[in-house]
Amino acid sequence: MIWGLFSKPDYEFSRERMWTLVKSAIDKFYRAQSYLEKDRYSTIQIQSAKGAINKAYKELKEAMYNAEQVFKQAKDIEELEAVMEIRQVLTGSLYGNPIQFDHEHVNDAWVNYARDPWVKQLTELYNQYNQKLR
């Protein structure tokens, strides 16, 4: 048997995996934007952009699963707060400006269908587990 194959991931692993997936999803949105910057009327470029955005959505879904695991494994309020730093990065409250994309459709997909629902779900999980730890 391979060591770790069936082991339960711990807090740090799940937290790092969540961050990695969110960063990868953001990269995919940038990739979608670059496809449309090449030729926004090309069917191939449009399909490539849609594919990149769909992959980003899937990664954000997996990242949310990891976030839930992190909240379940958190031992105290400080560990919960550490997870919520990602919300500040995504919404721009940490560095002063949120992530934005130049192409209107990519930015709309990011803000309305990726970032805002993801942050809302993360906040709901935080509130749920924060109540349990208090």
pLDDT means per 10 residues, the chain with 134 residues, are 62 94 95 94 94 97 95 92 89 72 93 95 94 81
Residue 2 counted as domain residue: no
- Give the domain extent around 45: 11-133
Closest CA to 111 of 95, 90, 88: 90
Per-residue confidence (pLDDT) for residue 120, from 0 to 100: 96
Residue 71 counted as domain residue: yes
Distance of CA 43 to the CA centre of its chain: 28
Residue 111 counted as domain residue: yes
Per-residue confidence (pLDDT) for residue 6, from 0 to 100: 60
Per-residue confidence (pLDDT) for residue 7, from 0 to 100: 67
How many domains does the chain fold into?
A: 1
Q: How big is the chain by its Cα radius of gyration, in Å?
A: 17
User: What's the CA gap between 81 and 107, in Å, rounded?
Assistant: 28
Report DSSP state, residue 6: S
Residue 1 counted as domain residue: no
Q: Rounded to a whole number, what is the largest CA-CA distance in the chain?
A: 54
